[in-house]
Chains A and B, each alone.
Chain A
Amino acid sequence: MIRIANLVKKYGDVSAVDDISLEVQQGEIFAFLGPNGAGKTTTIKMLTTLLTPTSGSVEIDGLSPITQSTEVRRRFGIVFQDPSLDQELTAYENMELHGVLYGVPRTTRHQRTEQLLKIFELWERKDDPVKNFSGGMKRRLEIARGFLHTPKILFLDEPTLGLDPQTRNQLWTQVKLLNEQEGVTVFLTTHYMEEAERVAQRIAIIDHGKIVATGTAAELKAQTGTDSLEQAFLKLTGTSIRSEAGTSADMMRAMAAMWQRGRR
């Protein structure tokens, strides 16, 4: 379903993604783990047509994100690290807009919106503006929206960041359920190792733009001689804290955080 070969993304002399190769099978839940700044989000951006690779090749369902971007975009849904809902619109309006953008026929759109909002327990709040939602509800809505056009692949970039354990647990249960029911391939990143171990069939660990290990959670533990995925992760990527260069996105994120605090 996803095939990456010798993928490289350079910013000037710095390689954010440095010659990675991996394959994800159809229907698989695949976790892509790594410390901050390791290249996870950059990889996802290249897979989802938002960024052009410096070199190497990417295939999504046999198609190229660069030359066949519209076809590729039809095939995936994505939940970004930063929110991408329209805060002024209601939950239902956000779903509706997504459905129209993806050309989902009206009746299917309404049925599926209802079904998904019920699965993610948002149906009662469908006519409330998104700005009144909690962080967890917004996340659930974004994931529900990602499923609306029945994608073949769902990308989840740190979907559980900042959520409480209850919400995280519920969210993964629902994603797993839809993975089983609809056979959607899930490509996720997270910093919570126990989540990756619980939901993902296979895991790749990326560090400094290179893939340092791939396999099931059990294989990674056996390979490193550790008894938890967290320890395996630390053994593979080291214990030093990463100094990530402040990008413009980080600066704006800080501004956004201040702005939101001010409004609460």
Chain B
Amino acid sequence: MGIIYVLWLRQIKRYFRSRARIVGSLGQPLLFLLSLGFGFGPVFQRAGQGNYIQFLAPGVIAMTVLFSGIFNGIELIWDRQFGFLKETLVAPVPRVTIMIGRTLGGATTSVMQGLIVAIACVIVGFRPNSVMAIVGGLVFMTLIAVMFTALGTAIASVLSDFQGFQMVMNFLVMPIFFLSGALFPLVGLPRALDIIARIDPLSYGVDGLRSSMTGLSHFGQATDLAVLSVLTVALLLVGSRLFAKIQI
């Protein structure tokens, strides 16, 4: 427990000490929020779907948590050659403990990133429907964060250098985001797209976040919670297995 705590604390300290990184990683979500939010707003309104910012904001928050989580995991590639990770790999501590500490720390910082973007969304005009929205929102943000940090860790455990990284971004992370219903409602879609959206784990994250913040739900909150919880546990297990096998 003590070890998980110090590894978690380390990530939190690192997060607060690299302010440039905090600001830098806000650029992309804000761009999405402003350009898509205000750009497609009028069309969305005319199509009878209501306020687009209200719809888009949970999607952009989910995106922030997704990217930040994956990067926290993928950072491992660099970290095991030039960073602190090697120090932990030779420590007399089970690898699972290290993986859990690292993942929870990374996930916490991802949630903080998500919260900053949530505040930005409110400034731009997003209105959550109640104070309770914050609690529900935090639950779903945490699930998304842990799930994708674990996924990033699992991927980074089997990649030996950054060459595979571009492929992971283009063929995994980007599709996960774009096909998740973060940007458009999952109704009346072509059959193929509908199936993909149902397979995409982030669909349930976005939906859960949206339903707890605005009350609008596609799959139902209980389904979202169940799917995310099962997948998070599964990815933690897979991630720690692969992490335990790392040789450098």
Contacts and interface: CB of A to CB of B under 8 A. Distances in A.
Nearest to A130: B84
The prevalent SS among residues of B at the interface is helix
A50 B84 contact: no
B217 interface: no
Nearest to B2: A100
Contacts of A86: 10, 14, 83-84
Contacts of A51: 247-248
Contacts of A200: none
Contacts of B162: 252
B contact residues, range:
20 to 34
B160 A50 contact: no
B57 to A, nearest CB: 31
A258 interface: no
B94 A70 contact: yes
Interface string A173-190: 000000000000000000
A84 B83 contact: yes
Interface residues of A, number: 35
A251 interface: yes
A101 B93 contact: yes
A52 interface: yes
With a 10 A CB-CB cut-off, give which of A71, A74, A86, A251 has the most chain B CB atoms: A86
Interface in A86-137: 86, 88-89, 93, 97-98, 100-103, 129
Interface string A64-79: 0000001101101010
B90 A73 contact: yes
Contact of A80 (B14, B78, B86): B86
B18 interface: yes
Contacts of B94: 70
Given A88-B17, A100-B6, 8 more contacts: A82-B81, A84-B85, A89-B14, A97-B10, A98-B87, A101-B93, A102-B91, A145-B87
